[in-house]
C-alpha cells in the first residue's frame, strides 16, 4: 500500500498549475473565490479557454476529444483547479450528455454534438424531474408520440438548471404506458428554440435564478434525435448513474473551502481576537477536516478500484452522502463566522468585507446538494439495496 | 406550578393568532415586501390601536403593564408568520431601553408614549464590525458633557434603521475598548448631521443599515458610563423575544412539512408512509416541544431580580434553541425537496428566518460559554 503519486504525476500537476496561472482570467478567479456562479458568457469564455488546451472534458476518452487522463491525473487536475481558484463550471453537456452519446449515440449524433459540447457552442440542459416525478423519477409523464418522422412532445419538466441559458435539452420522455413504468421511457434531444417550448424562472432561496420549469406544448423533434432505442431511456439514465462520476465527493473543493475558512477566521476579529483563536470555533473546523480526511481516503480507495476495472456503483452514493454533508457543514461554519453580516442580502462587500457578501447565499443554495442528483434519502436506499442487499 | 394563561392573556393570544391567520398570510407578506419600507405602516398603526405595542410595557409609561408572557405571546405569533413590522426593534428593544435607562423621566415618558401610539420608530445600534456578541466591546466614542455629546465611529446591522426616526446608540465615554464601565447610551436623531446610513435588504425580508457617526450630535440616555447593564438587560429581553419568534417559525415550518408528507406522493404512496420520514418528523416535533419549554422558562425568568439568574436563563434558552431551530429549518427544506428550495414556497423563507435567529444576539457557542461561566 502506498498513497504516493509518481514523479510523472507530480510533474503533470506542476504543468497544470503553470497553465492555470497563465490562462485563468483574473475576474473569473475572483468570482470563483467568492463563491459566485459564473454567468453564461463567463462560463462559455472559460470553457473555450479550457477547450483550446484540450481540457474541456477531463472525463471523456481521447477519441472523442477528451483528455483520456488516468484517475490520478483527474484527481490532481481537480486539486490544482481549486488550489488556484479556477471556477468549476458545470456543463451538463460535458458531464452527462457526452458520456451518454459515447455509449449509445449514433455516429451522426456524435459528429453533430460532441465538438459543439466541447467548445461550449451549445448549452445543454437536463430534462429529468417533473412536478410529480422527483425521487420517483420513473413515474415521469411528459409524453412523446411519433408522428411521421417527428416526435411530438407534451408535458413539463422542473428544476431544469439554466434552461434559460440553454440551446438544447436532453430529456427523458414517456413513449409507452405498457408494462413496467421504467420500460416506456425514451431519451430524446430537443431544441430549446422550438416554438412550443416555454421556460418559467424559479428563484431559489439564495435569491438567484438558476432553476426553471419548462413546458413542452407540441414540441417537435426529428426521430433521429432519439438516443439509443425507443423505450430504452431508463437504461441510458441508469448508465449515467454507474458511470464514473469524477469528483462526486467534492474532496478538492471542500479542502479548498477549509483553507479559505481558516484564512478568513484568522483575519476576522471577533471581540478582540481572531476567530480562529476561539477554541470552540477552531474545534468545529478541525472536526470537519477530520471527517474530510476519512472521505478523501475513501475516495482514493474508490478511485484505485475503478482504475483497476471495478465499476463504482452504489459506492458513489457513499461519496455523495458524505461529500455533500461536509460541504453543507463548511457553508454553515462560514455563516456562523459571518455573525451579524449574515443579515445583509444581495450586497457584495457594500455592508461588510466582501468575503461574507455571498456566504449566506451559498449556504442557502448549498442545501440543494442533498436534494439534487438523487437526494440523500435516495442514496441511502441505493446503498441499503445495492451494497447491503436489504 | 401553572402554565395556563390568565384570561386576559388568553384573549390577547386569540386576537393576535386570529390576525396572523387571517391577515398575515404568505401572499400578503409578499405584497408588503414589494414596498419601500418593507413593512406596513398601516398595520403598525393597527397594532397600536389594538394595544399590542404597549402590552408588555409599564403603566407609568402609558403601557398596559403586562409581563414577559404577553411579549412572548405576541412574539411567537409574529414569528409564526415572519411579521415584518419593527416590533422587535422599536418595542422590545428601544422602548425597554428607554424604560430601563435612568435619567430624565419626562423625556423618556414622552418617547415611550409615542412608541406605544405607533408614532415613533427607534432602532438600537449596538453591534460593531469587530465586537462579536460582546456588548461591552464598544469602539464608537462619545465626547462631551451635559446636553451636548458628539459621536464618532460605526455600528453595523442596525435592524429597521432606514425607517427609524431615532437611534439608541451604545458608545464609549471612558475606559478601554471592552470595559463594561464607560459604555453609555445615547439618543440620536436619524436625520442629524453626521449620521450616515448604508442601507440594505436583510435576508429575512426586512431592512437594515450600517451607520457611521461623524461628530453626530447626541443626547445622553441615563447615567454616563453606566449603559452596559441596561443594554445587557435589553438584549436579554430581546433574546427571549426572538426565541419566541423562532418557536413560532419552527412550528410553522414543522406543520408545513407534516402536511406536505401526508399529501406528496411518490412511488404511488404519500411519502409520509415512509418510516424514515416519519421518524424525522417526530424529531422535528420534539424540537418544537422542547423549544416551547425553553421559551416558557425564559419568559418566566426575565423578571428575576438576580441579573445572573436572568442571564443564565436567557443563555440556556438561546444555546438550546439555536441548533434545534437550524435542524428544523434544514429538515423542512430537505423533506420538501426541490420545492423547499424556492422563493415561491414559504418554507424557504422560514429557513432563512431561522438561519438568522441562530446568529442574532449571540451564537450557540457564545451563549453556551456565557451559561458555563455564570453557572460555574
Q: In the CATH hierarchy, which fold is given to the domain comprising A124-235?
A: Butyryl-CoA Dehydrogenase, subunit A; domain 2 (2.40.110)
From B208, B224, B240, the end of a domain falls on: B224
Closest to A386 in 3D by CA, of A320, A326, A318: A318
Catalytic residue among A150, A244, A296, A332: A244
The partner residue sitting opposite A342, judged by closest CB among B131, B337, B359, is: B359
Please list the residues that pair with A200 across neighbouring strands. Answer: A213
pLDDT in tens, A144-190: 999 999 999 999 999 999 999 999 999 999 999 999 999 999 999 99
Report residue B7's pLDDT band, with 50, 70 and 90 as the boundaries: very high
Size of interface A-B (CB pairs under 8 A): 144
Q: Name every chain A residue with its beta carbon within 8 A of the beta carbon of B208.
A: 343-344
Report residue A243's pLDDT band, with 50, 70 and 90 as the boundaries: low
B133 and A339 within 8 Å at the Cβ level: the answer is: yes
Share above pLDDT 70 across residues of chain A, in percent, rounded to a whole number:
97
Report residue A310's pLDDT band, with 50, 70 and 90 as the boundaries: low
A344 and B200 within 8 Å at the Cβ level: the answer is: yes
What kind and span of H or E run contains A111? helix A107-118
Give the minimum alpha-carbon distance from B202 to chain A in angstroms, rounded to a whole number: 5
Is the CB of residue B201 less than 8 Å away from at least one CB of chain A?
A: yes
Are residues B40 and B112 both part of a single domain?
Answer: yes
Report residue B225's pLDDT band, with 50, 70 and 90 as the boundaries: very high
pLDDT in tens, A16-69: 999 999 999 999 999 988 888 899 999 999 999 999 999 999 989 999 999 999
Are residues B259 and B328 both part of a single domain?
Answer: yes
| pLDDT recorded at residue A1 | 75
B207 to chain A: nearest residue by CA?
Answer: A344
Would you tell me the crossing angle of helices A71-83 and A7-23 to the nearest 10 degrees?
A: 40
Q: Is B275 exposed, middle or buried (0-12, 13-18, 19+ CB in 10 A)?
A: exposed
Kindly state whether residue B198 falls inside one of the protein's structural domains: yes
C-alpha to C-alpha distance for A276 and A265, rounded to whole angstroms: 5
| pLDDT recorded at residue A247 | 74
C-alpha cell at B244: 419566541
For the segment B36-42, the average pLDDT, to the nearest whole number, is 97
Q: In the CATH hierarchy, which fold is given to the domain comprising A247-386?
A: Butyryl-CoA Dehydrogenase, subunit A; domain 3 (1.20.140)
Are residues B256 and B354 both part of a single domain?
Answer: yes
Report residue B37's pLDDT band, with 50, 70 and 90 as the boundaries: very high
Which ipTM did the prediction report? 0.96
The partner residue sitting opposite A205, judged by closest CB among B157, B198, B343, is: B343
Q: Name every chain B residue with its beta carbon within 8 A of the beta carbon of A360.
A: 203, 355
A205 and B330 within 8 Å at the Cβ level: the answer is: no
| pLDDT recorded at residue B72 | 97
The residue whose grid cell reads 471523456 is A60
The partner residue sitting opposite B130, judged by closest CB among A136, A269, A344, is: A269
Kindly state whether residue B1 falls inside one of the protein's structural domains: no
pLDDT tops 90 at residue B35? yes
3-state secondary structure of A176: coil
Q: Name every chain A residue with its beta carbon within 8 A of the beta carbon of B200.
A: 344-347, 350-351
pLDDT tops 70 at residue B155? yes
User: Which residues fall within 8 angstroms of residue A6, CB to CB, at 6 or more apart?
Assistant: none
C-alpha cell at A105: 449515440
Are residues B163 and B284 both part of a single domain?
Answer: no
B341 and A204 within 8 Å at the Cβ level: the answer is: yes
Are residues B319 and B258 both part of a single domain?
Answer: yes
| pLDDT recorded at residue A287 | 98
Residue B70 CA to its chain's centroid (Å):
15
| pLDDT recorded at residue B159 | 98
Contact present, B288 and B251 (Cβ < 8 Å): yes
Are residues B351 and B233 both part of a single domain?
Answer: yes
C-alpha to C-alpha distance for A320 and B1, rounded to whole angstroms: 50
pLDDT tops 80 at residue A311? no
Kindly state whether residue B2 falls inside one of the protein's structural domains: no
pLDDT tops 80 at residue A242? no
Is the pLDDT higher at B160 or at A82? B160
Q: Is B343 exposed, middle or buried (0-12, 13-18, 19+ CB in 10 A)?
A: middle
C-alpha dist (Å) from residue B190 to B107, B173, B212, B218: 17, 21, 11, 10
pLDDT tops 90 at residue A245? no
Per-chain mean pLDDT for chain B:
96
Report residue A304's pLDDT band, with 50, 70 and 90 as the boundaries: confident
B341 and A272 within 8 Å at the Cβ level: the answer is: no
The partner residue sitting opposite B355, judged by closest CB among A281, A335, A339, is: A335
Report residue A70's pLDDT band, with 50, 70 and 90 as the boundaries: confident
B276 and A371 within 8 Å at the Cβ level: the answer is: no
Question: Are A124-235 and A247-386 in the same CATH fold?
Answer: no
C-alpha to C-alpha distance for B147 and B299, rounded to whole angstroms: 37
From B197, B224, B251, the end of a domain falls on: B224
Residues of the domain holding B156: 122-224
A211 and B341 within 8 Å at the Cβ level: the answer is: yes
The partner residue sitting opposite B132, judged by closest CB among A211, A271, A342, is: A271
The total number of structural domains that make up chain B: 3
Per-chain mean pLDDT for chain A:
93
B269 to chain A: nearest residue by CA?
Answer: A136
For the segment A347-373, the average pLDDT, to the nearest whole number, is 89
The partner residue sitting opposite B267, judged by closest CB among A136, A158, A271, is: A136
3-state secondary structure of A100: helix
C-alpha cell at A85: 481558484
| pLDDT recorded at residue A336 | 97
Is the CB of residue B263 less than 8 Å away from at least one CB of chain A?
A: no
Are residues B284 and B303 both part of a single domain?
Answer: yes
Report residue B103's pLDDT band, with 50, 70 and 90 as the boundaries: confident
pLDDT tops 80 at residue B369? yes
| pLDDT recorded at residue B44 | 98
Query: Could you tell me the CATH number of the domain that includes residue B16?
Result: 1.10.540.10
Residue B24 CA to its chain's centroid (Å):
18
Mutation for testing the A interface, residue in B238, B319, B337, B357 having most A CBs under 10 Å: B337
Give the minimum alpha-carbon distance from A83 to chain B in angstroms, rounded to a whole number: 29
Q: What are the contacts of A353-361 at 24+ separation with CB within 8 A?
A: A353/A268, A354/A34, A355/A34, A355/A264, A357/A34, A358/A34, A358/A35, A358/A36, A359/A35, A359/A331, A359/A334, A359/A335, A360/A335, A360/B203, A360/B355, A361/A35, A361/A206, A361/A207, A361/A208
Contact present, A162 and A119 (Cβ < 8 Å): no
Is A130 annotated in the active site?
no
Are residues B260 and B359 both part of a single domain?
Answer: yes
| pLDDT recorded at residue A353 | 86
pLDDT tops 70 at residue A246? no
Report residue B146's pLDDT band, with 50, 70 and 90 as the boundaries: confident
For the segment A265-284, the average pLDDT, to the nearest whole number, is 97
3-state secondary structure of B253: helix
Please list the residues that pair with B210 across neighbouring strands. Answer: B198
Are residues B364 and B233 both part of a single domain?
Answer: yes
B159 to chain A: nearest residue by CA?
Answer: A343
The torsion region of residue A76 among left (phi > 0), alpha (psi -120 to 50) and beta comes to alpha
A358 to chain B: nearest residue by CA?
Answer: B203
Are residues B97 and B164 both part of a single domain?
Answer: no
Q: Is A54 exposed, middle or buried (0-12, 13-18, 19+ CB in 10 A)?
A: middle
Contact present, A9 and A72 (Cβ < 8 Å): yes
Query: Could you tell me the CATH number of the domain that includes residue B129?
Result: 2.40.110.10
Give the minimum alpha-carbon distance from B282 to chain A in angstroms, rounded to a whole number: 17
Share above pLDDT 90 across residues of chain A, in percent, rounded to a whole number:
80
Mutation for testing the A interface, residue in B341, B343, B367, B368 having most A CBs under 10 Å: B341
Is the CB of residue B123 less than 8 Å away from at least one CB of chain A?
A: no
B341 and A367 within 8 Å at the Cβ level: the answer is: yes
C-alpha to C-alpha distance for A60 and A336, rounded to whole angstroms: 40
Query: Could you tell me the CATH number of the domain that includes residue B328?
Result: 1.20.140.10
Are residues B299 and B320 both part of a single domain?
Answer: yes
The partner residue sitting opposite A346, judged by closest CB among B201, B333, B368, is: B201
pLDDT in tens, B277-323: 999 999 999 999 999 999 999 999 998 999 999 999 999 999 999 99
| pLDDT recorded at residue A347 | 82
A271 and B200 within 8 Å at the Cβ level: the answer is: no
C-alpha cell at A212: 426553471
For the segment A299-318, the average pLDDT, to the nearest whole number, is 78
The residue whose grid cell reads 453606566 is B226
For the segment B349-369, the average pLDDT, to the nearest whole number, is 98
User: Domain spans of chain A?
Assistant: 7-89, 124-235, 247-386
A204 and B352 within 8 Å at the Cβ level: the answer is: no
pLDDT in tens, B63-88: 999 889 999 999 999 999 999 999 99
The residue whose grid cell reads 456543463 is A91
Contact present, A267 and A259 (Cβ < 8 Å): no
The torsion region of residue B62 among left (phi > 0), alpha (psi -120 to 50) and beta comes to left
Q: Name every chain A residue with its beta carbon within 8 A of the beta carbon of B330.
A: 367
Give the minimum alpha-carbon distance from B123 to chain A in angstroms, rounded to a whole number: 15
Are residues B268 and B349 both part of a single domain?
Answer: yes
C-alpha to C-alpha distance for B207 and B123, rounded to whole angstroms: 11
| pLDDT recorded at residue A312 | 62
Amino acid at each position: 500500500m502506498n498513497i504516493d503519486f509518481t514523479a510523472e504525476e507530480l510533474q503533470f500537476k506542476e504543468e497544470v498549475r503553470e497553465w492555470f496561472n497563465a490562462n485563468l482570467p483574473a475576474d473569473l478567479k475572483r468570482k470563483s473565490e467568492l463563491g459566485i456562479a459564473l454567468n453564461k458568457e463567463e462560463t462559455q469564455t472559460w470553457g473555450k479557454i479550457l477547450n483550446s488546451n484540450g481540457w474541456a472534458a477531463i472525463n471523456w476518452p481521447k477519441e472523442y476529444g477528451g483528455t483520456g487522463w488516468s484517475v490520478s491525473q483527474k484527481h490532481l487536475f481537480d486539486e490544482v483547479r481549486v488550489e488556484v481558484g479556477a471556477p468549476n463550471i458545470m456543463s451538463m453537456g460535458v458531464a452527462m450528455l457526452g458520456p451518454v452519446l459515447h455509449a449509445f449515440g449514433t455516429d451522426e449524433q456524435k459528429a453533430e454534438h460532441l465538438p459543439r459540447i466541447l467548445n461550449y457552442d451549445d448549452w445543454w440542459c437536463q430534462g429529468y424531474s417533473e412536478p410529480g416525478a422527483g425521487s420517483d423519477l420513473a413515474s415521469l409523464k411528459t409524453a412523446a408520440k411519433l408522428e411521421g418522422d417527428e416526435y411530438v412532445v407534451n408535458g413539463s419538466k422542473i428544476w431544469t438548471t439554466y434552461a434559460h441559458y440553454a440551446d438544447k435539452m436532453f430529456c427523458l420522455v414517456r413513449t409507452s404506458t405498457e408494462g413496467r413504468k421504467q420500460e416506456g421511457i425514451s431519451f430524446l434531444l430537443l431544441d430549446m428554440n422550438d416554438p412550443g417550448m416555454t421556460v418559467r424562472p424559479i428563484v431559489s432561496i439564495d435569491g438567484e435564478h438558476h432553476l426553471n420549469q419548462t413546458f413542452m406544448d407540441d414540441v417537435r423533434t426529428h426521430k433521429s434525435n432519439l438516443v439509443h432505442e425507443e423505450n430504452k431511456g431508463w437504461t441510458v439514465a441508469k448508465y449515467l448513474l454507474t458511470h464514473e462520476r469524477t469528483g462526486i465527493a467534492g474532496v478538492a473543493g471542500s479542502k479548498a473551502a477549509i483553507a479559505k475558512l481558516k484564512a478568513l477566521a484568522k483575519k476576522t476579529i471577533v471581540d478582540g481576537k481572531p476567530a480562529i483563536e476561539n477554541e470552540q470555533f477552531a474545534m468545529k473546523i478541525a472536526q470537519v477536516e477530520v471527517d474530510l480526511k476519512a472521505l478523501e481516503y475513501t475516495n482514493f480507495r474508490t478511485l484505485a478500484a475503478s482504475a483497476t476495472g471495478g465499476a463504482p456503483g452504489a459506492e458513489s452514493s457513499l461519496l455523495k452522502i458524505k461529500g455533500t454533508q461536509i460541504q453543507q457543514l463548511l457553508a454553515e461554519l462560514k455563516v456562523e463566522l459571518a455573525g451579524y453580516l449574515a443579515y445583509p442580502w444581495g450586497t457584495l462587500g457594500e455592508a461588510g468585507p466582501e468575503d461574507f457578501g455571498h456566504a449566506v447565499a451559498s449556504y442557502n443554495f448549498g442545501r440543494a446538494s442533498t436534494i439534487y442528483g438523487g437526494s440523500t434519502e435516495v442514496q441511502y436506499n441505493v446503498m441499503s439495496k445495492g451494497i447491503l442487499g436489504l | 406550578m401553572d402554565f395556563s394563561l390568565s384570561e386576559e392573556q388568553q384573549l390577547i393570544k386569540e386576537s393576535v393568532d386570529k390576525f396572523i391567520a387571517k391577515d398575515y398570510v404568505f401572499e400578503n407578506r409578499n405584497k408588503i415586501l414589494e414596498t419601500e419600507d418593507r413593512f406596513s405602516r398601516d398595520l403598525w398603526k393597527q397594532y397600536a390601536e389594538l394595544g399590542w405595542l404597549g402590552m408588555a410595557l409599564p403603566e407609568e409609561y402609558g403601557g398596559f403593564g403586562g409581563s414577559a408572557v404577553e411579549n412572548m405571546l405576541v412574539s411567537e405569533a409574529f414569528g409564526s408568520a415572519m411579521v415584518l413590522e419593527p416590533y422587535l426593534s422599536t418595542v422590545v428593544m428601544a422602548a425597554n431601553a428607554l424604560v430601563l435607562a435612568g435619567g430624565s423621566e419626562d423625556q423618556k415618558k414622552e418617547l415611550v408614549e409615542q412608541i406605544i401610539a405607533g408614532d415613533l420608530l427607534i432602532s438600537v445600534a449596538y453591534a460593531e464590525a469587530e465586537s462579536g456578541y460582546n456588548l461591552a466591546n464598544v469602539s464608537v466614542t462619545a465626547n462631551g458633557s451635559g446636553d451636548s455629546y458628539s459621536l464618532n465611529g460605526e455600528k453595523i446591522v442596525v435592524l429597521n434603521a432606514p425607517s427609524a426616526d431615532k437611534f439608541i446608540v451604545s458608545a464609549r465615554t471612558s475606559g478601554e475598548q471592552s470595559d463594561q464601565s464607560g459604555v453609555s447610551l445615547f439618543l440620536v436623531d436619524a436625520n442629524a448631521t453626521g449620521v450616515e446610513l448604508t442601507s440594505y435588504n436583510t435576508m429575512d425580508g426586512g431592512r437594515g443599515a450600517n451607520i457611521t457617526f461623524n461628530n453626530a450630535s447626541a443626547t445622553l440616555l441615563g447615567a454616563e458610563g453606566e449603559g452596559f447593564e441596561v443594554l445587557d438587560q435589553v438584549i436579554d429581553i430581546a433574546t427571549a423575544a426572538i426565541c419566541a419568534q423562532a418557536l413560532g417559525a419552527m412550528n410553522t415550518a414543522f406543520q408545513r412539512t407534516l402536511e406536505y408528507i401526508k399529501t406528496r406522493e411518490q412511488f404511488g404512496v404519500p411519502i409520509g408512509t415512509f418510516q424514515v420520514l416519519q421518524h424525522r418528523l417526530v424529531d422535528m416535533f420534539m424540537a418544537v416541544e422542547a423549544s416551547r419549554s425553553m421559551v416558557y422558562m425564559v419568559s418566566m425568568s426575565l423578571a428575576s431580580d438576580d441579573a445572573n439568574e436572568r442571564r443564565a436563563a436567557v443563555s440556556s434558552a438561546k444555546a438550546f434553541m439555536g441548533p434545534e431551530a437550524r435542524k428544523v429549518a434544514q429538515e423542512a427544506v430537505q423533506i420538501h425537496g426541490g420545492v423547499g428550495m424556492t422563493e415561491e414556497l414559504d418554507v424557504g423563507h422560514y429557513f432563512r428566518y431561522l438561519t438568522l435567529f441562530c446568529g442574532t444576539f449571540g451564537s450557540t457557542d457564545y451563549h453556551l460559554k456565557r451559561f458555563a461561566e455564570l453557572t460555574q
